[in-house]
Structure 1
Amino acid sequence: MRDRLNELQNRAYAPDAVIQMDASRVMYDSQTSSEQFFTHVNELRESLDVLQKRLQNLQQKQTAILSETVVRPEDKIQLEDLMEDIKKHIKSLRPRVKQIEVDLARDEAAGSETYRTSAQLRIRKAQCERLRSQLNDMMMLFNQTQIEYKSRVSRRVKRQLQMTGQNVSDSQIDEMLDSKASDIFYRQLNPISVEGRMAIEDATNRHQEILDIEKSIGELQEIFEDIFQIVHQQGEIVNHIESNVDAAYEYTNSGNAKVKSAVIHKKSAMRKKLCVITLVIAILLILIIVAVILGVTLTGHGK
Structure 2
Amino acid sequence: MSPTKDRLNELKQVQNDDEVEITIKSTESKANDIDQTLQKAEIIRRNIETIKNNTEKASFILKNNVLKVSKNQQDELDSLIRTNTSTAHKINSILKEFEHELNKIKNKNTAEFRIKRVQYTTLKKLFQEVLKESSVTLEYHRNHRKELLKKSLQTAQKDITDEELECLLDQNQLDVFTDNHLMTTEQVRQQLSDIEARHKELLEVERQLNEVLDLFLKIATLVEQQQESVDRVEYHAETATDFIEHGTKDLEKGLQKKQKYSRRRIYIILISIIIILIIVLILIIV
Q: What stretches of structure 2 of length at least 5 have no aligned partner? A: 1-27
Q: Does structure 2 retain, via aligned residues, the 8 Å contact 1:101–1:234?
A: no
Q: Does structure 1 retain, via aligned residues, the 8 Å contact 2:95–2:120?
A: no
Q: Give the match for residue 255 of structure 2.
A: 263
Q: Does structure 2 retain, via aligned residues, the 8 Å contact 1:150–1:213?
A: yes
CA drift at 1:53 = 0.7
Q: Does structure 1 retain, via aligned residues, the 8 Å contact 2:52–2:130?
A: yes
CA drift at 1:259 = 1.9
Whole-Å separation in 1 of the counterparts to 2:166 and 2:149: 10
CA drift at 1:228 = 6.3
- Aligned partner of 2:97 among 95, 99, 113: 99
Whole-Å separation in 2 of the counterparts to 1:150 and 1:190: 29
Deviations 1:161-190 (A, max 9, x none): 444462222211211221324534436877
Q: Give the match for residue 202 of structure 2.
A: 210
Q: Does structure 2 retain, via aligned residues, the 8 Å contact 1:191–1:197?
A: yes
Whole-Å separation in 2 of the counterparts to 1:125 and 1:193: 66
CA drift at 1:135 = 1.4
Whole-Å separation in 1 of the counterparts to 2:103 and 2:156: 63
Amino acid at match of 1:258: D
Amino acid at match of 1:52: K
Backbone CA RMSD of aligned residues: 4.0
Q: Give the match for residue 151 of structure 1.
A: 143
Whole-Å separation in 2 of the counterparts to 1:66 and 1:201: 21
Whole-Å separation in 2 of the counterparts to 1:241 and 1:48: 28
Q: Give the match for residue 249 of structure 1.
A: 241
Whole-Å separation in 2 of the counterparts to 1:238 and 1:148: 36
Q: Does structure 1 retain, via aligned residues, the 8 Å contact 2:168–2:174?
A: no
Choose 272-281 or 124-133, whichever is displaced more: 272-281
TM-score, normalised by the number of residues in structure 1? 0.66
Tell me if 1:178 matches 2:170: yes
Amino acid at match of 1:180: N
Whole-Å separation in 2 of the counterparts to 1:197 and 1:240: 65
Choose 190-199 or 33-42, whichever is displaced more: 190-199
Choose 213-222 or 142-151, whichever is displaced more: 213-222
CA drift at 1:266 = 1.1
Amino acid at match of 1:270: S
Length, aligned pairs only: 257
Choose 121-130 or 213-222, whichever is displaced more: 213-222
TM-score, normalised by the number of residues in structure 2? 0.69
Identity fraction in percent: 19
Whole-Å separation in 2 of the counterparts to 1:226 and 1:252: 38
Deviations 1:174-221 (A, max 9, x none): 112213245344368779887776555544433332211111122334
Tell me if 1:128 matches 2:128: no
Q: Give the match for residue 57 of structure 2.
A: 57
Q: Give the match for residue 74 of structure 2.
A: 76
Whole-Å separation in 2 of the counterparts to 1:288 and 1:30: 73
Q: Does structure 1 retain, via aligned residues, the 8 Å contact 2:125–2:223?
A: no
Whole-Å separation in 1 of the counterparts to 2:243 and 2:227: 24
Choose 277-286 or 256-265, whichever is displaced more: 277-286
Q: Does structure 2 retain, via aligned residues, the 8 Å contact 1:97–1:230?
A: no
Q: Give the match for residue 86 of structure 2.
A: 88
Q: 1:84 to 1:117 in 2, by over 3 A?
A: closer
Q: 1:270 to 1:185 in 2, by over 3 A?
A: farther
Q: Does structure 2 retain, via aligned residues, the 8 Å contact 1:162–1:168?
A: yes
Amino acid at match of 2:95: V
